[in-house]
Amino acid sequence: MPRYQKALFLFNSRAGSEDLEEKLAKTLPILSQSIKVMTIIQTSSVEEATESCVKFSGEIDLLIIFGGDGTLHACINAVAPLKKRPVIGILPAGTANDFSRMLKIPQELEQAARTIAAGNVTEVDIGKADDRYFLNFWGIGLVAETSQNIDKDRKKNLGVLSYVMSTIRTVNQAEIFHYEVISEKHSPKGEAVMIMVLNGKFLGTTELPVPSIRANDGKFDVLIIKESNLAAFRELISMRSPNADREQFTELEHFQTSKLKIITSPEKDIDMDGEISGTTPKEITVLPGHLQMIKGMDNENG
């Protein structure tokens, strides 16, 4: 008996387009074994993806997103405000596929399809800032500047390497800004090169060394990097150790909160899951367990 009665399979025609026919041939037969009725829609723009999610979400049990982080971000923003939200499964077909890694979804498409068919579901928090939502991270400073520096043609040809090259260029040009963070228990202020509000722990396929990050604990992990230097890098790496004395850190701050307000001077562009959206100041709130998503069997977050 099928696990799901109705599903929408949404794919970005530009994501992994080189072998698209082969990739669909690998995944669709596996998925169809667990789905009674599956509607397949090919999109070529963010607007099309958003419209399809809104149109079908009230009718389906499962939304399968075949695409990268950009397609996922668009779909999350379409689904999050709705009263009826389907279970979401990710078939990773982009460059980084960061939140699928957080959910321990296999990066090989055939195995990812089997994971979705198995239907192991977990509740996932999301962040909200004004009327926009993010699943993986909200960031300003170095992270937003890195996103803006990525060459689209180079990203297409070099994939993850393009993030590395962009980061190297951006670190050399990192601008210090003044900040004030107002939260429930911790309200630091000072100068920084980057502030990240984290719900996921992967960025450009790299796992951040912050063990406390969970996607379903009702909290953000806030990371403030004060300088783009070797000392900051060493402090960040040391966070992996349970014996790290964070009170001795001089180049970064880390704390958890469920809501916060960030004020900067000058105003800073905001990066939400790799998409530039708005400027500071901004109030950010976590919506606990707002989505149900398919996870890998080895996932620690469920």
**Catalytic positions, written as ranges:** 275
Rounded Cα distance between 30 and 156, Å, is 28
Count Cβ atoms below 10 Å from residue 191 Cβ, excluding itself: 12
Rounded Cα distance between 110 and 297, Å, is 15
Rounded Cα distance between 202 and 198, Å, is 9
| φ, ψ at 53 (rounded to 5°) | -60, -45
Sign of the alpha-carbon torsion through 170, 176, 178, 179:
positive
Pairing of β 4-12 and β 62-67: parallel
For residue 147 the two structure tokens come to 């996103």
Please, what is the end-to-end C-alpha distance for the chain in angstroms?
25
Sign of the alpha-carbon torsion through 94, 100, 101, 106:
negative
Peptide bond into 188 cis (omega under 30): no
For residue 232 the two structure tokens come to 């900051």
Decide: residue 4, CB within 10 A, 0-12 exposed, 13-18 middle, 19+ buried.
buried
Q: Do 242 and 169 contact (CB within 8 A), yes or no?
A: no
